[in-house]
Structure 1
């Protein structure tokens, strides 16, 4: 998860060096240049007065949580990923006081900084086949691994020996690993891959269609023409000898978290910036989002007169005075918070700010600051009723907005 720049150590030296600070610094791992000119496109500051954050499960805490989801199997269970390599499962009830260890692959996972067990997605037919999929990093060699595991019906414990590896790709550096995996409304598995790390994308992976790095990938887990997975026939680069067929969209720096709008199917991603702009993108098939030619709407490499061509601009960006490490969220489609209905909720890991972005189609119409007390938000999650949860990476708590 790339968020801050390495020289955040200097900029934030007054902070106590804690696990959270180490994670926060690692999440960008970039040298900080001179302060950039601020964009006029800055977030608003008006929040719905009736909302406040609460601990959704006061009887539970987790170790560096990075994902919250459900299995879509008709049970009341929810699942939380702990970065070092565990999946925890528990009843979606505020009175819950115990969480079982659903899967433990700590021995397989290289964790720390931006590495770890980073993504979890349940097969659309999980109730019948028991399949779920994870994204994790390993060492020797350093790679991202996309694996399938098989659960036994009704069990709260999965055997790690059921693992089947679908694909792996090299990670040249320890940062910018992406990490999210999710099934789209088309039934295909989408995978977020960062640009490979270091700073400034030194290998230009974002624009290189012969690597999986700096991309959103899309694969068919129900086919085997690539070994343990297949390629959707309408992937944009199928048949192109100069591009990998797994690529769905490219030109991304570190799309740590993405989500599908449950109502429209629109794919949203928060792409962490280099040292100037954080951005929110609506991801389209075959789209080029500009990195490293651009950071947000501004030229990056080259610094001037970059060839913008058919590059897709973000729907929203914000500057360093507002935050330094975007955490992509979700379009709220639940029922308990009518003021947020149809808005894209996202956060900044470093500042604890949480915003609600209003939009029509792929155009922004407004942006509200909901709170500055979110803490280091590593991810947002949704339960089976599409209610939204906020993961605090430091305290290990799962939060939610409620009406006062």
Structure 2
């Protein structure tokens, strides 16, 4: 049977019993004949309908049968009528093979009763692109917190693991391949394990590296740890995608034993590989690993990379929807078992695809890039944050065997596999897709960073809330920190009383053995530099208050204080009329000692540096500061420094030297009265030729020891000339806050009588 689109209006007419008879005016013309295949030759004939059928279907020989037409031409006709209803004259139904006797298809008209033909049309308009899927922005919530730096000097820390051995240690894995031991005393100088030599070469921005780290659930009895690494291709993978050497890299899950002689080190010879997975592209690797309350290891895998889940190495309908591959899935395995195909791990018997179609290791699927997930300690629910593509970031509660939608959906919205959010599905939708419990669009971020349900004690107003965040944007370190309301609405934390920005690229969220929260981030876009830090989420700070002043002897004054977050800068003035405060030291403790030798009077205050993205320092260079002997010279210089983690940014200028520069260095350890060896050579950072005036600027990464010396005021800058090879000008590097005090008396041109006042801290970078 064929359907021909009519180009003129046809009416059914009023004459009855006209089967094969001539039509009357206004009635469909049936004058050709009942038997035969020719189109009408009179009014209402060929000119009224398109000769080429819009749709065709086999009718068969059964009386009363239903014929379905699904041809693209019919869709074009219907869309044309939607666009211009005045041209909607319908279709002409015709059987092209009635050329011989007894092959007639009879259709009764309105008076024919049960024999009347009925045409039912079902049509859905093509999907429309949704440009702004979620118009509302994420509001600021009622949770006010502060952040205290626990450890820094890392590269790109991604996750926190707390072993159950009572040690109160935390293991922080860094994307560059190292795992750090963090305690109340800070970060260890040596890593627990360093697998950087196993990794692919990482770029300034990269989604590969050491992406996951887990400890055995019975760590005290079975001191083993597990790593998820991005490694160069090395032979056939346990889960291969057919691309072979064209794969970008392989994801490798390995087990390691702790050292028997050092509880803070892994035995580097103990590596046992559990499984290896081909990765067609460099991105969308997932990587998070956690042991669940059931004692099994859960491993998150992305869809393989590129965009839209359609690149080489991706299944026809997308890896996320393919249960015959592991990509875009959450795996569940038993490292203590051996019934997997390679014999290196076990497959739990109650995994949802055991004994049925699908990969036995898959626990859930339909994910794009599940970068982070975690279990609620109270109820065991699995919360997973799936990084979206161009529009939607989502949070899911994951259950066994369920399909979470990618790449049919992005969040709760339909996805068209070309990067668009659209108003309707563009492909067949399988039953049972699970929507996220929360989502936001890219007006509020670009990559969701999964977290944890808070079960600690320090923040009672946050109890039972899911805490997560957003990585930020490529343009700046603009990470954000969120939580879910009881109704699963996304809310943003207020950081400090001023609701200041985080100032970092957020890269991970974790918890310690007591359930307290930690943030991981850095001021570098990817795995580069040493600005990575670990921050503890603490209650909003009480105001700073000096609680005690004790004469320490030998020209010192010891101050104690309460409140604030830290680190703190101890500042002094000889007189309140002095324009600037001088910074004595920086400390993380609520106590410090100021030098009072040679001072008849003095004033002290403490500044909280918690809100600063980096610590400012300065050095004023002169000949009188040179040691062991001061130098009489007209030369001088000024250095400005900014320390973020272990990354030191500096800008140093000098003038009026007696000759051209022969050397410039940062020295230490030494106070203002002593001398020390070279720590950092500044000569490679000269801006142009050496002369009697000039500048140095650049960025250097300090060792942990160098950082401690710098913050303690035990380093200095020295510039050397031919006449003064030991140094012509020198300046001690000290913390230097630039602060302003605000009051009505300083208002111009006329002072204002007001009780209002304020203080501002300024940071100059570069």
Aligned equivalents of 2:221 and 2:338: distance in 1? 19
2:324 to 210, 233, 248: 210
SS of alignment partner, residue 231 of structure 1: coil
**Deviation digits for residues 111-143 of structure 1 (CA, Å, limit 9, x no counterpart):** 440000011111112211211111111113511
For 2:59, the equivalent position in structure 1 comes to none
Moved more, 321-330 or 109-118: 109-118
Q: In the alignment, is residue 106 of structure 1 matched against residue 199 of structure 2?
A: no
Secondary structure of 2:269's aligned partner = helix
The higher relative CO (CA closer than 8 Å, separation ≥ 6) is in 1
- After TM superposition, list the pairs within 5 Å mapping 1:139-288 onto structure 2: 139-140=232-233, 142-153=249-260, 154-202=262-310, 203=314, 204-226=318-340, 227-240=343-356, 242-288=357-403
Q: Hey, what's the Cα distance between the residues in 2 that align with 1:269 and 1:183? A: 14
The secondary structure found in structure 1 opposite 2:281 is coil
**Kindly tell me: are residues 365 and 84 of structure 1, through their superposed partners in 2, closer, same or farther at Cα, counting changes over 3 Å?**
closer
Structure 2 match to 1:387? 516
The separation in 2 between residues aligned to 1:98 and 1:124, in whole angstroms, is 23
TM-score (norm 1): 0.85
**Matched position secondary structure for 2:193:** strand
Match of 2:537 in 1: 401
Taking structure 1 as reference, are residues 343 and 220 closer, same or farther at Cα in structure 2, changes over 3 Å only? same
Cross-structure match for 2:507: 378
The answer to whether structure 1 residue 331 and structure 2 residue 453 are counterparts is yes
Alpha-carbon distance in structure 1 between the residues aligned to 2:298 and 2:187: 33
**Secondary structure at 2:220's aligned position in 1?**
helix
Give runs of aligned pairs for residues 68-79 of structure 1, distance below 5 A. Answer: 68-79=160-171
Pairwise CA distance, 1:249: 0.3
In structure 2, the residue matched to 1:291 is 406
Question: 1:127-181 deviations in whole A, cap 9, x for unaligned?
Answer: 1121111111111351100110011355222122211010111100000000100
Aligned to 1:357: 484
Name the structure 1 match of 2:155.
63
Matched, 1:368 2:368: no
CA contact 2:285–2:303 (8 Å) conserved in 1: yes
- Superposed displacement of residue 109, structure 1: 1.3
Q: Is the 8 A contact 2:181 2:187 kept in 1?
A: no
Match of 1:310 in 2: 432
| 1:31 aligned partner | none
Query: 2:96 matched to which residue of 1?
Result: none
Conserved? CA contact 1:206–1:292, under 8 Å: yes
Residue 54 of structure 1 aligns with which residue? 148
Q: CA deviation at 1:210?
A: 1.2
Contact 2:516 2:537 in 1 (8 A): no
Q: Structure 1 segments of 4 or more deviating over 4 A?
A: none
Aligned-residue CA RMSD (Å):
1.7
- Secondary structure of the 2:461 match is helix
- Describe the SS at the equivalent of 1:402: strand
Per the alignment, do residues 149 and 41 of structure 1 end up closer, same or farther by CA in structure 2, a change over 3 Å counting? farther
Measured in 2, the distance between the counterparts of 1:311 and 1:38 equals: 19
Which of the pair has more CA radius of gyration? Answer: 2
Q: Is the 8 A contact 2:328 2:367 kept in 1?
A: yes
Of 202, 217, 223, the match for 1:124: 217
Tell me if structure 2 keeps the 8 A contact 1:354–1:374: no
- SS of 2:221's equivalent in the other structure is helix
**Cα shift at 1:75:** 0.7
Q: Separation in 2 of the partners of 1:124 and 1:146?
A: 17
Please tell me whether the aligned partners of residues 372 and 385 of structure 2 are also in contact (alpha carbons under 8 angstroms): yes
Rate the CA distance shift 1:116–1:345 in 2: closer, same or farther, 3 A: same
**Structure 2 Cα separation of the partners of residues 97 and 234 of structure 1:** 40
Aligned partners of 2:198, 2:207: CA distance in 1, in Å? 16
- Matched residues in 2 for 1:365 and 1:212: separation? 30
Quote how far apart the aligned CAs of 1:308 are: 5.5
Higher mean alpha-carbon deviation, 306-315 vs 327-336, is at 306-315
Shift in Å at residue 107 of structure 1? 1.0
| Contact persistence 1:342–1:358 (CA under 8 A) | no
Say if 1:375 and 1:35 are closer, same or farther in 2 by CA, change over 3 A.
Answer: farther
**In the aligned structure 2, how far is the partner of 1:248 from the partner of 1:41?**
34
TM-score with structure 2 setting the length: 0.46
Structure 2 residues not aligned, in runs of 5+: 1-128, 235-248, 473-477, 495-500, 524-530, 542-766
Alpha-carbon offset, residue 187 of structure 1: 0.4
Tell me the distance in 1 between the aligned counterparts of 2:298 and 2:360. Answer: 13
Go from structure 1 to structure 2 and tell me whether the alpha carbon gap of 1:294 and 1:366 turns closer, same or farther (over 3 Å shift). Answer: closer
- In 1, Cα distance between the equivalents of 2:218 and 2:307? 40
Kindly provide the CA deviation profile for residues 343-399 of structure 1, in whole angstroms up to 9, marking residues without a partner as x: 00001001311111124xxxx443321044162111111111111100013331101
Give secondary structure in 1 for the equivalent of 2:355.
coil
Separation (CA, whole Å) in 2 of partners of 1:390 and 1:175: 23
Give 1:185 deviation, angstroms. 0.2
After superposition, the Cα gap between the structure-2 partners of 1:36 and 1:186, relative to the gap in structure 1 and judged at 3 Å, is same
